[in-house]
A and B are shown apart, each in its own frame.
Chain A
């Protein structure tokens, strides 16, 4: 028998039953991805599924990843979490393609969030109703004050413009394996236009002399990206009303702390006006389960205030899993610096210096540029400063 035949005979897939896309398992997975509970409907991959908000999509993928955690080691969980971390930054683009601009006002009119604090907070640790604040309240109030004082910015690209995002996605090497950054971690630049077209270049250092660079671009595919999908401009600036609006708009009227937290943190640095961003921080300050984890320095040497939400549960029939999410904010600008999903645990333990193997998703720079190859001022210098060699 020649080598080709031997290889064909030895193909592991020949000795395993490979199910079709119509199988029960494949159908269930499909529905989990697009947001349809598996307990409804019959077999087969549906051609149409109920739609949900962008945040729900993000939680779906997050929930799915969290679902794996009990089977994996902590390292594996961290590695898996990177996929989730990417969702934080990128679903804002990909998931935003189908959300309308103008549905938020309805949510404002019908606040249905469960009773969290409706007190009107003032950024002071000596407030008269300290019970309404969570443990991270004072820090979040301070961030709210910083956010309120920031100049308005918009990262919504107009015609001929692109949203530029420079980020680093660490993959999380095992803690016992030194500080090596495994192949697959990516320093990535993306240019995204609102018509759906864009370009991406990336670089994966640390691939054992086989450093991987990639570049791809794509044209408009009829699936325009709605950068305004959160409609920040129309959101209320009073924290309780803001929370009610978010719950109504994105959580189907049933408050889900995880989704609220993700909306309030993951997209903060994109398009929200200062008053709304400030209100988001105030809203977080009263949300149950939000903890302050102290000052933490990320692998890039950036130190910020770290907020965690632990034991978040995803409502629905199939995604009741617990997990933690940690976000580092720059105290000077209130912008999010890093997002790091963590495996489930009762307490989140973070070292003062976040090691690369914790696999944070690090935001480096964002901006609006006029060409698909242009970068905001100072980006080249910034790229040179990235100490990726230390992670190799």
Chain B
């Protein structure tokens, strides 16, 4: 195979650029949705392996990041299915063992994460894309494969739900991050728009 194979060089340059540009964003996306560090790393790996394999399908910037988010969304869905089973096992173990060390934030953050966790999955993903990934409604619609209107409605409902949840009396203290991840894990991917 000649070293100056232009198609290979073009391919790798493109992937290198994609990787440099978006590694952090994809990693942040994974961290926001997957608690276990190793699993988040696996999500990132899966996303970029897919990108490398299907590079001709990756659109040009700025749509390339949305394409990566779309892949990440599906990869995360697979992780959640396994996480749900794993969580049941962990719950049984925790019944007889000391609680595992957990990630805790301050009280306000915990309450917000708890409230986000209790949103419907489609609304949760929509508001996460808009607020955390800082996508426009149109961009989020592209990632989710739905209409811009649908995103707007989901975000609106999510915000209303969050306001209502945060206005309620403070619940008993618990690790909101765990609640958030548990709720995410429990969500049937079937209801994710």
Using a CB–CB cutoff of 8 Å, the interface residues on chain A facing chain B are 1, 3-4, 6-13, 15-16, 18-21, 25-26, 29-30, 32-34, 45-49, 51, 53, 57-58, 60-61, 64-65, 68, 71-73, 75-76, 79-80, 82-83, 86-87, 90-91, 93-95, 97-100, 103, 171-174, 176, 180, 182-184, 196, 198, 200, 206-208, 210, 212-214, 216, 218, 221-226
Contact = CB atoms under 8 A, between A and B. Distances in A.
Interface string B114-138: 0010000010000100011000000
A183 B77 contact: yes
A80 B9 contact: no
B69 interface: no
Given A94-B53, A97-B56, A47 B82 contact: no
Nearest to A220: B56
A206 to B, nearest CB: 6
Contact of B7 (A182, A208, A214, A223): A223
Interface residues of B, number: 75
Contacts of A80: 46, 78
A174 B85 contact: yes
B41 to A, nearest CB: 7
Interface in B1-55: 1-3, 5, 7-16, 19-21, 23-24, 27-28, 31-32, 38-39, 41-42, 44-46, 48-50, 52-55
A174 B9 contact: no
A15 B14 CA distance: 31
A48 B9 contact: yes
B101 to A, nearest CB: 15
Nearest to A79: B78
B27 A19 contact: yes
Contacts of A72: 82
A71 B81 contact: no
A189 to B, nearest CB: 14
A34 B81 contact: no
A48 B19 contact: no
Contacts of B103: 15
B1 A51 contact: yes
B149 interface: no
B49 A61 contact: yes
Contacts of A224: 7
Nearest to B40: A16
Most buried by A among B50, B82, B85: B82
Contacts of B131: 4, 7-8, 11
